[in-house]
Chains A and B, each alone.
Chain A
Amino acid sequence: MARFRKDGKKEVPELNMSSMSDIIFMFLFFFMVITNMRESNIKVKITPPGATEVQKLEKKSLVATIYIGTPLHANENTLPPGKVSVQLNDQTIKQEDLADDVRTWIGQEKESRNEEDGNKLTFSLKVDQDVQMRYVNIIKNELRTNNALKINYATSKKIEHKK
């Protein structure tokens, strides 16, 4: 009888996988929207100091970042006492060229934007917490003399402990 037929080929029905890719594409777009591309290879290690009164930087396209920290790989461009490197764009810079390189870099960053945006440009200082102020001061001085006055001390958010 048909009801008890056992010799019939029983196949697992094929799963429709087309919606699976839709879901993953949605994930993909979600991540693309909430993240921002790493614009440069970071060559220095930075542990930013914590602060409570932080504000978010508004426009990512109007931010230029200077990194100061301990170099991840040994390179010749360290500043005394041999533990600090300054990174602009993709490369670390030599100590003797520090002020000059920072100056040309500020000019380049301003020129790459249009004039109106160039004045709104924020220079974000991403500095390791153990770096001495002398390097930060050199860079701040260059920023100031080149009329790049909007700066930002990059920090991590510290949760305030109540006294």
Chain B
Amino acid sequence: MARKTPGINTGASADISFLLLTFFLLTSNISTEQGIPRRLPPPTDDKVIVEFNQRNVLRVQVNFLDEIFVQDVQTPINQVKDRAKEFLSNPTNSSNLAKKVVREIEHIGDFPVSEGVVSLFNDQSTTYKTYVEVQNELQRAVNELRDEVASQYFGKKYDLLDTAFQRAVQKAVPMNISEAPPADYNTQQ
């Protein structure tokens, strides 16, 4: 004869899982890690001085007052991107801006690759905020140029391309930032 099992009161198990839920909510953070990725240059024992042609270098300086100078001219932050874009792409083939060398790139073919290098120079007293803003603007310049190349050759934005095509666009629009050792305003006084 089957015996009827008494109903178990499971209301408390909901309470226990609620406790677990609140515990996890408190000990974890939802915010995903995000930021501007960069690669540092590999360490060198002896100082390798690479000579660049003056026209191929865009000097971006941030001083101790967080003022930004592009090619020794003070520039507001919202113009840095356009200056960098103009310098790297050199649409008018001006002899003052970065030189372009035609290289053969897989999937793209012959493409005039800019030889421009952005030389970033900051003071020890520069605030991190301004530094990141400048890095961000330079990244934006490169990203916009890459988007232009991507839509011209592949008809899509850079982010939506396959990895092989992304590599090709990366070769076509390289990101060259060189960081000089920072100056210290305080010790110069």
Q: CB-CB < 8 A to A55: which residues of B?
A: 34-37
Q: CB-CB < 8 A to B135: which residues of A?
A: 51, 153
Are A57 and B11 touching (Cβ within 8 A)? no
- Beta-carbon nearest neighbor of B36 in chain A: A153
In the complex, whether B94 has a CB less than 8 A from a CB of chain A is no
| Residue of B35, B37, B124 with most partner-chain A CB within 10 A | B35
With A24-B18, A24-B21 already in contact, the answer to whether A136 and B128 are too (CB < 8 A) is: yes
Are B29 and A36 touching (Cβ within 8 A)? yes
CA distance A48 to B41 in the complex (A): 24
Considering only residues 1-53 of chain B, those with a C-beta below 8 Å from chain A are: 7, 9-11, 13-14, 16-18, 20-21, 24-25, 27-30, 32-43
In the complex, whether B101 has a CB less than 8 A from a CB of chain A is no
Q: CB-CB < 8 A to A57: which residues of B?
A: 32-35, 37
CB B78 to nearest CB in A, in angstroms, measures 7
CB B73 to nearest CB in A, in angstroms, measures 20
Are A152 and B28 touching (Cβ within 8 A)? no
CA distance A54 to B11 in the complex (A): 46
Dominant SS among interface residues on chain A: mixed
Contact of B123 among A31, A133, A149 (CB under 8 A): A133
Contact of A130 among B20, B123, B129 (CB under 8 A): B129
- Beta-carbon nearest neighbor of A15 in chain B: B11
Are B42 and A53 touching (Cβ within 8 A)? no
With A24-B21, A57-B33 already in contact, the answer to whether A149 and B125 are too (CB < 8 A) is: no
- Beta-carbon nearest neighbor of B133 in chain A: A49
In the complex, whether B178 has a CB less than 8 A from a CB of chain A is no
CA distance A133 to B183 in the complex (A): 10
Are B21 and A31 touching (Cβ within 8 A)? yes
Which bucket holds chain B's interface residue count? 35 or more
Considering only residues 101-160 of chain B, those with a C-beta below 8 Å from chain A are: 122-129, 131-133, 135-136, 139-140, 143
In the complex, whether B182 has a CB less than 8 A from a CB of chain A is yes
Are A133 and B39 touching (Cβ within 8 A)? no
Are B33 and A60 touching (Cβ within 8 A)? yes
Are B128 and A152 touching (Cβ within 8 A)? no
Q: How many residues of A contact B (CB 8 A)?
A: 59
Are A132 and B28 touching (Cβ within 8 A)? no
CA distance A18 to B9 in the complex (A): 8
CA distance A26 to B38 in the complex (A): 39
Contact of A53 among B29, B143, B182 (CB under 8 A): B143
With A31-B24, A144-B41 already in contact, the answer to whether A24 and B35 are too (CB < 8 A) is: no
Pick 30 A–B contacts, CB within 8 A, sort by A.
A17-B13, A18-B10, A21-B13, A21-B14, A21-B17, A24-B17, A24-B21, A27-B21, A28-B17, A31-B25, A34-B30, A36-B28, A51-B36, A53-B36, A53-B136, A55-B34, A55-B35, A57-B37, A129-B132, A130-B127, A133-B182, A136-B131, A145-B43, A149-B39, A149-B41, A150-B39, A151-B39, A151-B40, A152-B33, A154-B34
Chain A residues within CB distance 8 Å of chain B: 14, 16-18, 20-21, 24-25, 27-28, 31-32, 34-38, 48-49, 51-57, 60, 63, 68, 122, 124-125, 127-134, 136-137, 140, 143-157, 163
Seed contacts A27-B21, A51-B135; 13 additional CB < 8 Å A-B pairs: A31-B24, A36-B28, A36-B29, A37-B27, A49-B132, A51-B132, A55-B36, A124-B35, A132-B125, A144-B40, A147-B42, A148-B40, A151-B38
